[in-house]
Amino acid sequence: MNLTDLPALNALLNVSSLLLLLNGYRHIKAGRKEQHRRSMLAAASCSVLFLISYLVYHSAVGSVRFTAGGWVRPVYFAVLISHTILAAVLAPMALLTLWRGWNGRFDAHRSIARKTFPVWVYVSLTGVFVYVMLYHLYPPTT
């Protein structure tokens, strides 16, 4: 694996996190608390690995320019900006949600999880959207 593989790895980690989040949600709705806990910890692990990989890649490469024009440009940037802002908001929300669940403060956990879950799903999903747009549909020119 080299540096150029990291964007694809990041997308894979985002997809994995998304699927684990949805699986965890399904488990808690069915009352399967241990499976919920495992899924959510795995989703958090994928997100942490994503963040490490993302920081390594962008510290070496810098920002990658989106070169497409026309109607797709404002769409891309609207998604990217909302993704970036919500990702920054998500980090402390997810930590607090996980902390409360880990420590058995389930009423407080449930309260913040109702807000954290949709933000986390959105950030994971839009992370994949940004990757596909930037590296596959409109790849940077070299």
In the chain, what are the domains? 3-137 (1.20.120.80)
pTM as predicted: 0.93
**According to the model, what pLDDT value does residue 71 have?**
95
**According to the model, what pLDDT value does residue 123 have?**
98
**φ, ψ of residue 66 in degrees (nearest 5):** -90, 115
CA 57/CA 63 separation, integer angstroms = 9
Side-chain half-sphere of 15: how many Cα atoms within 13 Å?
11
pLDDT tens, residue order, the chain (142 aa): 899 999 999 999 999 999 999 999 999 999 999 999 999 999 999 999 999 999 999 999 999 999 999 999 999 999 999 999 999 999 999 999 999 999 999 999 999 999 999 999 999 999 999 999 999 998 877 5
Nearest of 89, 114, 113, 119 to residue 100 by alpha carbon: 113
Contact 68, 138 (CB under 8 A): yes
